[in-house]
Amino acid sequence: MKHASLGGHLAGFWIALADPSFAVDRVLVGAVTCLINEGLADSERGLWVPGSERVSAELVKSFVAGGELVLVRHQGLIAGVARVRFLSASEAECTLVVRDPRFRGRRIGSDLLAFAGQWAAGLGAARIRAELLTPRAPANPARKFLCGWLERHGYRHVGTGDLADWPPAVRSRLATAGDNLVFYRSL
């Protein structure tokens, strides 16, 4: 997919799927890994065993190699990322939506969601899924905000996914009981 220039509120920003050949670029993979882990640290505080990473460089490398990583760039900086993929012929998924804190208030997360929806619809998806891991207790205000944010972008909470479906290595790093909230948006 070609780069798309973001106009208006994001003049000078570019959004695109990362070229799969970039999977061997250690600097890019390292920067994205760091951005995701740091970006989710606050909103997922208390969910994970202290010191555990949300994603590894190897996992990010697999996202890039698989053509699943969306990048927002500005003047050589990675301003935001998201993972997109197809779950079936008619259903796509957008996860790990993160923006660099230096670009707060620039609607980068909103543009990542919009790009993911356009990408999926362009390839024939009828709907797109988002998930949000939330602790059962105590309440996490950031997660509550993100639920509302997804709903403001047309996603509807449709249920709770089963954490038993997650890989054991990931589940073992959870520090507390949680729910995997599932949201869908029709395309």
**pTM of the predicted structure, to 2 decimals:** 0.90
Domain that holds residue 113: 4-186
Q: Is the pLDDT of residue 2 over 60?
A: no
Q: Is the pLDDT of residue 167 over 90?
A: no
Residue 140 sits in a domain whose CATH number is 3.40.630.30
pLDDT, tens digit (0-9, with 9 covering 90-100), for 71-80: 999 988 999 9
Domains identified in the chain, total number? 1
Which is more confidently placed, 69 or 165? Answer: 69
pLDDT, tens digit (0-9, with 9 covering 90-100), for 130-147: 999 888 877 788 889 999
Q: Please give the structure tokens belonging to residue 92.
A: 């796509």
Residue 70's contacts (CB-CB under 8 Å, 6 or more residues apart) are 15, 16, 17, 18, 81, 82, 83, 84, 112, 115, 116, 119
Give the pLDDT of residue 169: 81
